[in-house]
């Protein structure tokens, strides 16, 4: 009898230990996992479920009374009522997310994975997993927006080119050399616009690919890069009566970076300032200095500025400050500032923007000290260096 009692005790202890082990494993999951009985009462919940419940919500309470976002609990209750498995994405708005105990801010996305668990009696319970798919959802939204916006941006110049081609070929205008030349120049302008959009899309695609070989790192003089940008924009600067000045505390500073992308960064920032201010003799300053964090690079102009309501969004792809004080739409691909941010981040830097409408706009880039190339010293990003 004593031996049987010991065996029973050992078995009970083993089962208890297994239960503790299972609970510990479930508590390490980042996905929320809980069980419901046939009445919709929570009978088990791992630690990750705590962020979905408010107040004293949790084990022993009904799923629709524990503070969970209604859209999530509704999906679970539908699966319970039908006693069928479901796998369903649920999107919560900013208001719904902030109204619950969730830590996220803004719109969030969750995958509800629920399935009945048959027990040894007639009633069954429901196993529920809640997985955070917000990052994947936002990535997919960005992809969809990118495709839609790119299609729109390409459609307009293509329509213009096709329209002028139709006028030339079907309107019997080829014999009118002046008109034909004017049409061809307009078509060429929009053809170049298409080429610029495609080139910008390829650049941002490469930057977002995460490919280690995207950057070709080797030392170059920042001054030389800035002068190249001014030279490329000389005709626009001259036409607008603008001026671009270099303000260099360390004129011969050398960066360990990809000169192609740094040319894109400075070109897009200066060109953006010029496009935002086509009707005024703009003064643009490109400068840099060394500080404790590393190298500070800035592009500043004294133009019309950017409204504060637009500042949080200007680095988004295809986002434009549609109107300035003259009520004229700003032309461009809508990708320039997105390329700037991605290229800066690829060089381990960060970019910030500040603007006082009617006075000044300043884009400021901060690079870590290791991105400054010292003569005779190794480049910090040696794994991708191409010297």
C-alpha count within 13 angstroms, C-beta hemisphere, residue 56: 2
Report residue 139's pLDDT band, with 50, 70 and 90 as the boundaries. Answer: confident
Q: Which of 334, 253, 259 is nearest to 297 (CA)?
A: 253
Which of 119 and 360 is assigned the larger pLDDT? Answer: 360
The pLDDT of residue 379: 39
Chain centroid to Cα 241, Å, comes to: 36
d(Cα 10, Cα 235) in Å, to the nearest integer? Answer: 88
Report residue 289's pLDDT band, with 50, 70 and 90 as the boundaries. Answer: very high
Eight-state DSSP code of residue 373: P
d(Cα 176, Cα 178) in Å, to the nearest integer? Answer: 6
Q: What CATH number has the domain spanning 133-209? A: 1.10.287.130
Fold of 216-384: Heat Shock Protein 90 (3.30.565)
Eight-state DSSP code of residue 352: E
Helices (H) and strands (E) in the chain, counts: 9, 12
Lowest mean pLDDT among 16-25, 189-198, 346-355, 359-368: 16-25
What's the average model confidence in pLDDT over 207-235? 85
Cα-based angle 344, 253, 234 (whole degrees, multiple of 5) = 70
Contact 373, 347 (CB under 8 A): no
Contact 273, 282 (CB under 8 A): yes
d(Cα 322, Cα 319) in Å, to the nearest integer? Answer: 9
Chain centroid to Cα 387, Å, comes to: 31
Ranges of each domain in the chain: 31-132, 133-209, 216-384
Does domain 31-132 fall under CATH 1.10.3720.10? My reply is: no
* Ramachandran category for residue 304: left, alpha or beta (phi over 0 → left; psi -120 to 50 → alpha): alpha
* CA distances in angstroms from 184 to 153, 192, 261, 266, listed in the order given: 20, 12, 32, 31
- Average pLDDT taken over every residue of the chain: 81
Q: Measure the CA dihedral 57/61/65/70, to 10°.
A: 80
Max intra-chain CA distance, the chain: 115
The pLDDT of residue 246: 94
Contact 201, 335 (CB under 8 A): yes
pLDDT in tens, 183-216: 999 999 899 888 888 888 888 878 877 665 678 8
Q: Which residues contact 149 (CB under 8 A, 6 or more apart)?
A: 317, 318, 334
What's the average model confidence in pLDDT over 142-151? 77
Contact 80, 36 (CB under 8 A): yes
What's the average model confidence in pLDDT over 63-89? 88
Q: Which of 265, 271, 275, 328 is nearest to 297 (CA)?
A: 265
pLDDT in tens, 11-40: 655 555 555 565 556 666 678 888 888 888
* CA distances in angstroms from 270 to 90, 101, 172, 263, listed in the order given: 43, 45, 43, 11
């Amino acid at each position: 009898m004593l031996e049987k009692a010991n065996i029973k005790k050992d078995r009970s202890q083993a089962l208890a230990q297994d239960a503790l082990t299972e609970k510990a494993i479930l508590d390490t999951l980042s996905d929320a996992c809980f069980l419901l009985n046939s009445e919709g009462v929570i009978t088990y919940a791992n630690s990750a479920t705590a962020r979905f419940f408010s107040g004293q919500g949790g084990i022993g309470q009904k799923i629709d009374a524990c503070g969970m976002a209604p859209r999530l609990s509704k999906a679970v209750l539908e699966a319970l009522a039908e006693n069928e498995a479901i796998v369903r994405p649920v999107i919560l708005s900013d208001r719904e997310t902030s109204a619950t105990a969730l830590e996220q801010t803004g719109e969030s996305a969750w995958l509800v994975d629920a399935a009945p668990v048959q027990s040894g009696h007639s009633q069954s319970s429901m196993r529920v997993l809640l997985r955070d798919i917000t990052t994947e959802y936002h990535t997919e939204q960005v992809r969809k927006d990118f495709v839609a916006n790119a299609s729109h941006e390409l459609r307009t110049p293509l329509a213009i080119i096709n329209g002028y081609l139709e006028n030339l070929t079907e309107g019997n205008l080829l014999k009118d050399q002046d008109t034909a030349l004017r049409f061809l120049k307009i078509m060429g302008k929009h053809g170049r616009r298409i080429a610029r959009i495609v080139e910008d899309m390829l650049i941002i695609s490469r930057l977002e690919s995460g490919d280690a070989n995207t950057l070709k790192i080797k030392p170059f003089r920042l001054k030389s890069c800035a002068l190249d940008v001014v030279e490329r924009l000389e005709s626009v600067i001259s036409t607008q009566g603008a001026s671009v000045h270099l303000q260099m505390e360390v004129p011969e500073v050398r960066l360990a970076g990809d000169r192609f992308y740094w040319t894109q960064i400075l070109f897009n920032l200066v060109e953006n300032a010029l496009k935002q201010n086509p009707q005024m003799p703009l003064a643009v300053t490109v400068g840099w200095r060394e500080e404790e964090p590393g190298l500070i690079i800035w592009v500043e102009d004294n133009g019309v500025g950017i409204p504060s309501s637009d500042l949080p969004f200007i680095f988004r792809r295809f986002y434009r400050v549609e109107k300035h004080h003259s009520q004229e739409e700003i032309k461009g691909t809508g990708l320039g500032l997105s390329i700037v941010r991605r290229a800066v981040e690829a060089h381990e830097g960060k970019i910030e923007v500040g603007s006082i409408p009617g006075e000044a706009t300043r884009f400021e880039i901060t690079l870590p000290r290791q991105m400054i190339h010292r003569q005779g010293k190794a480049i910090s990003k040696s794994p991708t260096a191409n010297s």
